[in-house]
Structure formats: structure tokens, C-alpha cells
Amino acid sequence: MTNQTPMGITFGSLSVLGPKAITEIAIKAQGMGYKSIWTVEATGTDALTMLGAVSHAAPKLDLGSGIIPVQVRTPTLAAMSAATLQALNPDVDIWLGVGVSAPGILSQHGQPNADKPIGLMREYVALFKECLSGESVTFEGDYFQTKRFRLGMRLEERKPKIVMAALNPQMLKLAGEVADGVLLNYLPASHVRASIDKVRQGGDAKIFAYVHAAVTSFERGAKSAKKDLFNYAMADGYAKMFREAGFDLEVTELRARQAEKDRDGALEAISERMIQAIDFIGSKSEVTEFVRAYIEAGVEHPILMPMPWGDDRMGVTTDTMAAAIEATQESN
């Protein structure tokens, strides 16, 4: 058996295990044959500090953030942070994943919502790339400005790469045009190809996707899955995507119930079909096939988001990791 498709894992769903658990997860991932590990940044752990810890525990893993809110970390600071990680880890890839954050997160940081997210992201990526050049950079944009910034370190041939989180057609196309990669999330495998087609209208960015799964019984995981999907279905961008993916009835009923302050009714509106298309729950072999569906749909670098649902959270996580990596294996 040989690895055919690079597989990543994100710690983004595992905060319940505590920050220190990332090193244990990283060591397990490296041992199983995972290629990369990813972190998130909102109001909890700092994404790049976590990756620094990983680099010592599992030095063979590529390091990725998925995602850092662009309104919270400037392009110059992001370039400094990514370049530092790269200089300390010259033999692995650094994937700086960035995106436009949700209003609820931004308000906690005292930052305004993006009125023109496409323009904001285009400027961010452009300035980030310029800052990595090592040359003096002066930039006058609508959202970002800098005068004679020069990165105070020299990188070897390998440089950090930038990945854009994207959901709507315009952002997917922009990611294809300006980024090294695009990160898809909460996207059923059946809807992946349509998103890739939009990315390819812009260019050839590498296709990453979070794949949500748990090796546990449906009875143990269903309640948690409904709460998870409820939170995203209440966000307009994800609600639109869920509708386009075939879950219009669920989203309509959920939002109607929530408008009536009927939280239980809203959760009940989420069908088993919707759960099993996005937050899959099943046996090891079923999870393997679920992950494989994303690879067959065109995802070049799937990233497992293990959902630690059940009493034995680390046990569920480990079983899910073992099942997911099997999807990347092919017989010689």
C-alpha cells in the first residue's frame, strides 16, 4: 500500500481536547502517514503559535492555518509570521490559510465587517506576496497601506504559500486567480465539482477541502451534528450553499423555527440526509468511503476534520483518523 493523495488533519474541531493535545494529534498523524496539520484562529488559540508547537513534535508535517481572519492580522504581520515558520521549518510547506471572518468574530476583535470582501481579499493576497519578496514594498490600496516595508529575514528557495477560504462563485474564482490554494468547507462531496469549476475559471489553485467525519454511532453523534450544522445554516453564505446542495427544505424550516424562537424545532429540521452529506457519522469503512468520495470529486488535498462526538473523544478522533487515511491508499 502506498500513499497516493496527500491527506491533512485540522485541530479546528478538537479544541475540546485542550491546546496541549495538538502535539499528541500531530505525532499520531505523522505516524499514520498524514501530510499536513492545520489550525484555526477566531477567539481561542493563536493559529501560528499552535503550528510552532507542532513543528517540534512532528517535524515532517506541512503546516497550515485554516483560517486566519484577514481583518485581524495584517498582511505584513502575516508575512512575518509565515516567513518565521518557514525559516524555522525549511523542509516543509507552510500554507497560510486566510479568509473573511464572520461578523460575530469580528465584533469581538473590535473590527468592522467587510463591505467589499472580494476587493479586500485581492489586496491582502497581493500585499502578502509582495512582502515575502524581500524587497522594499510600498502599497497604497483601499484597505491596506504600507510604506517601505522590508521583510527582515532571508528565506531559502521554499517560501510560504497562501490559501484562500472561499464559498461563493466570485471568491472561488478569485482564489483560483491569485492564491496558491483554495480551502472548501462544509461542502458535500456532491457539490465539490461545481466549486472546482468556479475556481478553474480563475486559475489553477490547489484544491483543499475540510472533510467532516466521526467514527461513532449515529445515535451518539446526531445531536452534536445538528448543533454544528444549525450554527452554519444560520450564516447567510453557508445557508445559500446548503440550499444549492439540495437542502433547501431543511434550511427554510430551520430558519423559520428559529425565527419563532423554537430552538428544538430548528434542530429537528436538520435531516439525517443532511448530516450524512456534510458531518458524516459511521463505521471505519464507511468513513473511509466518505473521504474517498471527496478525492474522487477532485479534491487534491483533503483535510480531515474529526468530530470528537461521544464519551471517548480521543478514541473517536483516533479511529476517525485511521479510517480517513485509508481513503488515500491504493493497492500497488
The model carries a pTM of 0.96
* Beta bridge partner(s), residue 65: 39, 96
First to last CA, the chain: 6
What are the residue ranges spanned by the domains of the chain? 2-218+278-330
Distance CA 71, CA 126 (A): 15
Q: What is the mean pLDDT of residues 21-38?
A: 98
Does residue 207 have a cis peptide bond before it, meaning omega lies within 30 degrees of 0?
Answer: no
- pLDDT per residue over 192-223, tens digit each? 999 999 999 999 999 999 999 999 999 999 99
Cα–Cα–Cα angle for 314, 315, 318, nearest 5°? 85
pLDDT of residue 102: 81
Helix (H, G, I), strand (E, B) or coil at 160: coil
Q: Are 10 and 21 in contact (CB under 8 A)?
A: no
User: For 216, how many CA atoms within 13 A lie in the half-sphere containing its CB?
Assistant: 25
User: Residue 120: how many CB atoms within 10 A of its CB?
Assistant: 18
pLDDT grade for 330, boundaries at 50, 70 and 90: low
User: Over 80: is that where the pLDDT of 331 sits?
Assistant: no
For the record, the C-alpha cell of 54 comes out as 507542532
Q: Are 77 and 98 in contact (CB under 8 A)?
A: no
Distance CA 197, CA 282 (A): 30
Q: Are 165 and 97 in contact (CB under 8 A)?
A: yes
What backbone torsions phi and psi does residue 89 show, to the nearest 5 degrees? -135, 65
Strand ranges inside the chain, DSSP E: 2-3, 8-10, 36-39, 62-69, 94-99, 137-140, 145-149, 161-165, 181-184, 206-215, 279-282, 301-306, 329-330
Q: Quick one: CATH architecture of 2-218+278-330?
A: Alpha-Beta Barrel (3.20)
Please report the DSSP string for 260-297 in residue order.
Answer: TT-HHHHHHTS-HHHHHHHEEEE-HHHHHHHHHHHHHH
Question: With DSSP H G I counted as helix, E B as strand and the rest as coil, what are the percentages for the chain, rounded to 5?
Answer: 50, 20, 30
pLDDT of residue 104: 81
User: Over 80: is that where the pLDDT of 179 sits?
Assistant: yes
pLDDT of residue 278: 98
- pLDDT per residue over 246-289, tens digit each? 999 999 999 999 999 999 999 999 999 999 999 999 999 999 99
